[in-house]
Amino acid sequence: MSAARRADDTVVLVEGVTKVFQVPTERRTRLKDHVINLFRSPGRRRFEALKDIDFTVGRGEFFSIIGHNGSGKSTLMKILAGIYQPTRGRVKISGQLSPFIELGVGFNPELTARDNIFLNGAILGLDRGQVTAVFDDILRFSELEDFVDQKLKNFSSGMLVRLAFSIAIRAHAEILLIDEVLAVGDANFQQKCFDVFLRMKADGRTIVFVSHDLGAVRQFSDRVMVLNHGVSHGIFNPSEAIAIHNRLSEEHSNRELERAAAEEAQEPQVDEVDERRPSLHGVQMLVRGHSTHVVHRGDDVTIRVAVHNPERVPVNIGVAVARTDGLYCFGTNTFLADVRPSSHLWIQADLKLTQLPLQRGTYFLTVGVFGETESSIYQMKGQAFDFQVRQADDDGYQGLVYLTHDWALRRGSGASGDAANDLADAAG
- Where does this chain bind other proteins (CB under 8 A)? 21, 29-32, 34, 78, 81-93, 97, 99-102, 105-106, 108, 110-111, 115, 118-119, 122-123, 125-128
Instruction: Tell me the closest approach of the beta carbon of residue 158 to other proteins, in angstroms.
Output: 20
CB-based contacts of 128: which residues, under 8 Å, 6+ apart?
118, 122
With beta carbons less than 8 A apart as the criterion, state whether 58 and 5 touch.
Answer: yes
Q: Which of residues 91 and 260 has its CB atom nearest to other proteins in the complex?
A: 91
Pairing of strands 301-308, 279-287: antiparallel
- β strands within 217-339, DSSP E: 223-228, 231-236, 279-287, 290-291, 294-296, 301-308, 316-323, 328-333
Instruction: Tell me the closest approach of the beta carbon of residue 19 to other proteins, in angstroms.
Output: 10
Q: Which of residues 179 and 222 has its CB atom nearest to other proteins in the complex?
A: 179
CB-based contacts of 206: which residues, under 8 Å, 6+ apart?
11, 12, 57, 58, 59, 60, 61, 62, 63, 95, 174, 175, 176
CB-based contacts of 399: which residues, under 8 Å, 6+ apart?
359
Q: Which of residues 126 and 225 has its CB atom nearest to other proteins in the complex?
A: 126
With beta carbons less than 8 A apart as the criterion, state whether 277 and 368 touch.
Answer: no
Instruction: Tell me the closest approach of the beta carbon of residue 24 to other proteins, in angstroms.
Output: 10
Q: Which of residues 160 and 285 has its CB atom nearest to other proteins in the complex?
A: 160
With beta carbons less than 8 A apart as the criterion, state whether 164 and 152 touch.
Answer: no
Number of alpha carbons in the 13 Å side-chain half-sphere of residue 80: 34
Residue 316 phi, psi (nearest 5)? -120, 120
Q: Which of residues 79 and 193 has its CB atom nearest to other proteins in the complex?
A: 79
Instruction: Tell me the closest approach of the beta carbon of residue 386 to other proteins, in angstroms.
Output: 21
Local structure of residue 402 (DSSP, 8 states):
P
CA dihedral 355, 356, 357, 363 (to 10 degrees): -170
Query: How buried is 306 (Cβ within 10 angstroms: 0-12 exposed, 13-18 middle, 19+ buried)?
Result: buried
Q: Which of residues 11 and 81 has its CB atom nearest to other proteins in the complex?
A: 81
Q: Which of residues 173 and 319 has its CB atom nearest to other proteins in the complex?
A: 173
